[in-house]
Amino acid sequence: MLRIMKYLKPYLLMILLAIGMLYGQVMADLALPDYMSDIINVGIQQGGIVNAVPEAIRQNEMDKVTIFLNADERAAVSNDYTLVDQNSPDYKDFLKEYPILATEAIYVLNTTNEAEVEKINPMMAKGLMIVSTIDQASNDPEKAAEVSQKMGFDLSKFPQGMDVFSMLSSMPETQRSAVINSIDEKLSAMGSSMIVQSAIGSVKDEYKALGVDVAKLQTNYLLKIGGYMLLLTLATVACSITVGYIASKVAAGVARDLRRDTFKKVESFSKTEFDRFSTASLITRTTNDITQIQSAVMMIVRMVFYAPIMGIGAILHAIDKSPSLSWIIALGVLVLICLVVTVFSIVMPKFKIVQSLVDKLNLVTRENLSGMMVVRAFNNQNFEEGRFDKANQDLTKNNLFVNRVMVVMMPIMTLLMSGLSLLIIWVGSHAVAEATMQVGDMMAFLQYATQVVMSFLMLSMLFIILPRSTVSANRIADVLAVEPVVKDPKEPKPFGKNARWSVEFRNVSFRYPDAEEDVLHDISFTALPGQTTAIIGSTGSGKSTVVNLIPRFYDVTGGAIYVDGVDIRDVKQIDLRDKIGYVPQKGMLFSGTVESNLRYADENASEEIIRNAAAVAQATEFISAMPEEMQSEIAQGGMNVSGGQRQRLAIARALVKAPPIYIFDDSFSAVDYKTDTALRKALKKSTGGSTVLIVAQRISTIKNAEQIVVLDDGKVVGKGTHEQLMKNCKTYQEIALSQLNKEELA
């Protein structure tokens, strides 16, 4: 996978933008449980009252509260509150908000500094809770005993009906400090958050006494927090859509670039490289493998950054909410890691097998379709069905195994999430009952735990997709990393302006890659312009190999080939092939029309040139018989025309190019004798001063060639005209006499 990471470089800015959007999405997702906790804890349980610092408090209540504060705490509270009575300048403004001001003075909070409010929050909470508790217990002996034990000082010592607050306020400072310290020591076990929550009821009662509409206060708080949650949700949706768009664009762009470069690389392959990679494998790599990579890139952009940030953030938030429950998340993460590692180790080897099986299935399908007529001719449909079924079954078995392993993960994940939820609720409910945790915090912790599990679930999905895409990426990288054996020189030479375009083989030997012996041995001959040089020999003698060396489909392993005195290895391949009109034995046509196939040689060729080429190739008659003549459709590979027609169209295509060198590699084998004779006569006139090399099996095709080269077992065993070879070349005589009688050869 790392070998193709460079294809992400052009999209780096888009990826960085996606990461930024993902970070924003994560922050929004992590904030939602906190707001949900606030709605439960503050909006519902606390009636919308955020803390134990009231916006206003009656003077007599404030006096009670300050009794239970030490000197420093009283000073801090006094600095943040201002006494308002009928003589205050802003009396009328506060009277509208707090109707109780008409009968008694109140203290009003004079700061909006959050840090300052947070500072006095536990102080006011402690005082308000103690005052409320004493008020409830003052006339209830049983309650008084409970309060005495809870707060650390004995209320029973105070006479019934006596004002406890007056008695406490009249105590000497040292004695009262001792009482306060005792209370602080007892309350420390509750924790500041629970003390604040316990004091909220007192704040709410105080607001009612002041004449404040507490129902409206709660509604406003719920609407405000709900509004924040709605905005965060919309932001999350916007980020998710944007990231999805970016991920799709990056993935599609990477796939496009990979296909382009893979196709370019394959176009540069010589036959040596095509012997290494089968056609079916190259098709699979260019389609299926790159599609796998495209899916992986999309998943990487969307998940590989999102999941870790979300997982780490959710863990930190969960620990902040309740450190005592963090062991539950650790347990869940441990189980998830074990599950992912197990699945990864099982599935990874299978993915490598799957891609090779896809290659095999494509190969069988391709062979079956291209050879359908042969299959039917030999009634081997059942045999081919068996081959296909075996390849299909092997692929199906491996895919089923992989899919079954992947399918098992989802129910296990669901079971794990459900188990974690139950465990959190069970442990958390005990904490809520013991007043060490709030309900909203427990629900937020549950959501954070879910987010942690979901993050690991995303990563596990990624770990399942990545192995297969890694295999695909390595297969593509293998193609891209291939250095073609046939290369252009660093300092290419040009052909001369007045080149004669002779082709000379000088002591040429050739050996196929990884072969033990040469297939061509010391081949030497010269093909001159204006002449036809024919190459003939028995099957396997090396005829096609000889002409394949001229356009550098292979490079010679010994000796050299010269075109107009220049070693073909010293010129660019494009310059060399631009001078060659090549017609293979199997006339390859492309899907399109007759005209588009002929224009393949020169898209700017005139109508006259195209029709003349068709006439020389003896193709005019069957083209005219087609429904739309030149615009008639040609199927892929030319499957809707006969073998002879394909060869003639391929010859016409080469003639449209009008190159100085023609190579006909047994290009007349599918043409009947009558057409062959007419075609050779027309070619002689049309090719004029060009250098023509013909590989042929028929003596009649090459009988009139100016030079005939006879090959046997990769060696030149004869060279000359027909008459000369009939006199002094035994191999040529045997070939000739096997095809024609002596009268026809004369």
Is 47 a residue whose pLDDT tops 90?
no
* Helix 59-67 vs helix 114-137: crossing angle, to nearest 10: 90
Mean pLDDT for 729-744 is 78
C-alpha to C-alpha distances, 322 to 147, 432, 441, 720, nearest whole angstrom: 28, 11, 8, 99
Is 435 a residue whose pLDDT tops 70?
no
53, 206 Cβ separation under 8 angstroms: no
522 sits in the region (left: phi over 0; alpha: psi -120 to 50; else beta) called: left
Higher per-residue pLDDT: 649 or 150:
649
Q: In the prediction, which pLDDT does 230 show? A: 94
Name the nearest CA neighbour of 58 among 76, 34, 85, 40: 85
Is 76 a residue whose pLDDT tops 60?
yes
Residue-wise pLDDT tens digits, 215-240: 888 899 899 999 999 999 999 999 99
C-alpha to C-alpha distances, 321 to 176, 372, 377, 451, 490, nearest whole angstrom: 36, 70, 77, 14, 68
Q: In the prediction, which pLDDT does 241 show? A: 92
DSSP 651-720: HHHHHHH--SEEEEESTTTTS-HHHHHHHHHHHHHHHTTSEEEEE-S-HHHHTT-SEEEEEETTEEEEEE
Give the pTM.
Answer: 0.71
Q: In the prediction, which pLDDT does 424 show? A: 84
Name the nearest CA neighbour of 26 among 310, 302, 244: 310
Q: In the prediction, which pLDDT does 150 show? A: 58
Mean pLDDT for 372-397 is 81
The overall average pLDDT reported for the chain is 83
Residue-wise pLDDT tens digits, 672-716: 778 877 888 888 888 878 899 988 888 877 888 889 999 988 898
Beta-carbon count within 10 A of 316 CB: 12
Give the C-alpha separation, 652 to 617, whole Å. 5
Q: In the prediction, which pLDDT does 164 show? A: 66
Sheet bearing 56-58, strands edge to edge: 56-58, 106-109, 81-84
Give the C-alpha separation, 639 to 641, whole Å. 6
560 strand-pairing partners: 506
Structure tokens at 576: 């060399």
Enclosing H/E stretch for 558: strand 558-563
Q: In the prediction, which pLDDT does 223 show? A: 93
Q: In the prediction, which pLDDT does 437 show? A: 75
Q: In the prediction, which pLDDT does 390 show? A: 86
Is 625 a residue whose pLDDT tops 90?
no
SS3 534: strand
Enclosing H/E stretch for 106: strand 106-109
pLDDT band for position 727 (cuts 50, 70, 90)? confident
Give the C-alpha separation, 609 to 658, whole Å. 10
Q: In the prediction, which pLDDT does 144 show? A: 54
Name the nearest CA neighbour of 706 among 463, 530, 456: 530
Q: Class of 2-23+230-480 per CATH?
A: mainly alpha
Domain ranges of the chain: 2-23+230-480, 46-212
Residue-wise pLDDT tens digits, 263-306: 888 888 877 777 777 777 788 788 888 888 888 888 888 888 88
Q: What's the gap between Cα 422 and its chain centre? A: 36
Higher per-residue pLDDT: 180 or 124:
124
Q: What percent of the chain clears pLDDT 70, i.e. is strictly above it?
A: 92
